[in-house]
Homo-oligomer: A and B are copies of this chain.
Amino acid sequence: MGESIRIGVLGASGYTGADMVRLAARHPRIEIAALTANTHAGKQMAEVFPHLGVLDLPTLQNWEEVDWGTVDAIVCGLPHGTTQDITKQILAAHPRTRIIDMSADFRLRNTSVYASAYGQDHRAPEIQPEAVYGLSEHYRAEIAGARLVACPGCYPTAVLTALLPIVAAGIVDATDLIIDAKSGVSGAGRGLKQNTLFCEAGEGLSPYSIGTHRHAPEIEQEITRAAGEAVTVNFTPHLVPMSRGELVTCYVKLTNGASPADVREALRRRYAEEPFVHVLPEGGVPATQAVRGSNHVMVGVFPDRIPGRAIVIGALDNLVKGSAGQALQNLNLAFGIEETEGLMQLALFP
């Protein structure tokens, strides 16, 4: 084994920050050197996340108090908007620090798309060009050398894993993609909102942000790239009464004479060597239960009753492959560590 990578986690009091701690704490090459959470500075993680109370962790600090020169990498789990300023300042002071960003701040290459989607101007547009979009299986080479990795949103990770190879192969019509997405409640974070109270989200199902969700432009950015033409997609998320898990049901129109079996085969070939992407055999049905707590993605392909169409379904854990797990995968890539290190935990079922 090589030496330890010292990391700091920005925003350790959120769900993605905590899941990064959960994974990193058991990673043989990582040392958790700093944890920040400005509203909880001075507390122990055990107070904020009792399930991490069995660990010996640094006390939570204000991010300004940390000596960032002593860490090799920063994993950022801050809300969007705040990440830009902090990243800019830290990179200015410590140009050799690598930043693995789980927030949305550097995912959109076009900062005017960012401004329109997030309702505020980008505050570090000069850094944006060096940000690599951290969809591990598709940007592996770029991630390896990057100083700033913008990890994809949870929904885009599921959707793009399912669709990018078949859009690129030209066997589905990129202008007719309908994506019905379903997420567990943890996707909304730990902030206090009425709609994520147990009594509001429990025993019920509701769509939200119909046509306006911020992950849609992110999906469109990558689909556009793969398609070679500007595309708009339907993206309709729903809130499901479960904590973890995300499933995307993608309705696609087949082109160039492709069959559903061709779609499945294209995906299998593309991901044959990938440790975390599993294209199921015919009839195999992805379910979030099968990936809960793990970094795995399951993909299944089905014929549609309507001729000439197919259904491509992807399932992942929004906090792992959809956030902290993929961030750790990218951190492994960035530091030349075995990509699966610290990520081989199996799903927890039931």
Once bound together, how far apart are the Cα atoms of A40 and B350, in whole Å?
Answer: 19
Contacts of A211 in B (CB 8 A): 302-305, 311
**Contact yes or no, A350 B199, CB < 8 A:** yes
* Beta-carbon contact of B198 and A245 below 8 Å: no
A190 in contact with B199 (CB, 8 Å): yes
Partner of A192, one of B49, B197, B234, B345: B197
CB-defined interface of A204-244 with B at 8 Å, one 1/0 digit per residue? 11111011000010000000000000001111101011111
In the assembled complex, which residues on chain B have CB atoms less than 8 Å from the CB atom of A311?
210-211, 234, 236
Given the complex, which residues of B lie within 8 Å of A192, measured CB to CB?
A: 192-194, 197
> A285-B206, A287-B204 in contact; A243/B199 too (CB < 8 A)?
yes
Q: Do A198 and B287 contact each other (CB < 8 Å), given the known contacts A305-B232, A346-B55?
A: no
Chain B proximity of A54: nearest CB distance (Å): 6
Mark each residue of chain A from 74 to 105: 1 if its CB lies under 8 Å from any CB of chain B, else 0: 00000000000000000000000000000000
**A284-300 interface bits toward B, Cβ cutoff 8 Å, 1 = contact, 0 = none:** 11111111111010100
Establish whether residues A304 and B205, one from each chain, have CB atoms under 8 Å apart when the complex forms.
Answer: no
Which residues of chain A (289-324) have a CB below 8 Å from chain B?
289-294, 296, 298, 302-307, 309, 311, 313, 315, 319
Contact B234 A306 (CB under 8 A): yes
Is there an interface contact between A216 and B305, defined as CB atoms closer than 8 Å? yes
User: Which residues in window 10-34 of A have CB below 8 A to B?
Assistant: 15, 18, 22, 25-26
* Contact between B198 and A185, CB atoms less than 8 A apart: yes
Among A137-145, A161-169, A175-183, the stretch that binds chain B is: A175-183
- The answer, yes or no, to whether A35 is at the interface (CB within 8 Å) is no
Among residues 259 to 291 in chain A, which have CB atoms less than 8 Å away from a CB atom of chain B?
278, 284-291
Contacts A194-B192, A251-B251 given; does A204 touch B289 at CB 8 Å: yes
Residues on the B chain within 8 Å of A180, using CB: 180, 249, 251
Contacts of A285 in B (CB 8 A): 206-208, 210
Q: How many chain A residues touch the partner (CB < 8 A)?
A: 87
**A196 within 8 Å of B by Cβ?**
yes
Q: Residue among A193, A208, A249, A350 with the most chain B CB within 10 A?
A: A350
* Contact across chains for A346 and B247 when beta carbons are under 8 A apart: no
Kindly identify, within residues 147 to 187 of chain A, every residue whose CB is under 8 Å from any CB belonging to chain B.
Answer: 175-176, 178, 180, 182, 184-186
A50-67 CB contacts (< 8 Å) to partner B = 50-55
In contact, B190 and A194 (Cβ under 8 angstroms): yes
User: Can you list 30 A-B contacts (CB < 8 A)?
Assistant: A49-B349, A51-B291, A51-B292, A51-B346, A54-B296, A55-B346, A175-B306, A178-B178, A180-B251, A182-B205, A185-B199, A192-B197, A198-B200, A198-B201, A202-B202, A202-B203, A203-B203, A203-B242, A203-B292, A205-B242, A205-B245, A206-B286, A207-B249, A216-B305, A234-B251, A234-B305, A234-B306, A234-B309, A244-B348, A348-B348
Closest 8 CB pairs of A and B: A204-B289, A206-B287, A199-B350, A192-B192, A51-B347, A180-B180, A51-B349, A50-B290
Report A's interface with B, CB cutoff 8 A. Answer: 15, 18, 22, 25-26, 49-55, 175-176, 178, 180, 182, 184-186, 190, 192-194, 196-208, 210-211, 216, 232-236, 238, 240-245, 247, 249, 251, 278, 284-294, 296, 298, 302-307, 309, 311, 313, 315, 319, 344-350
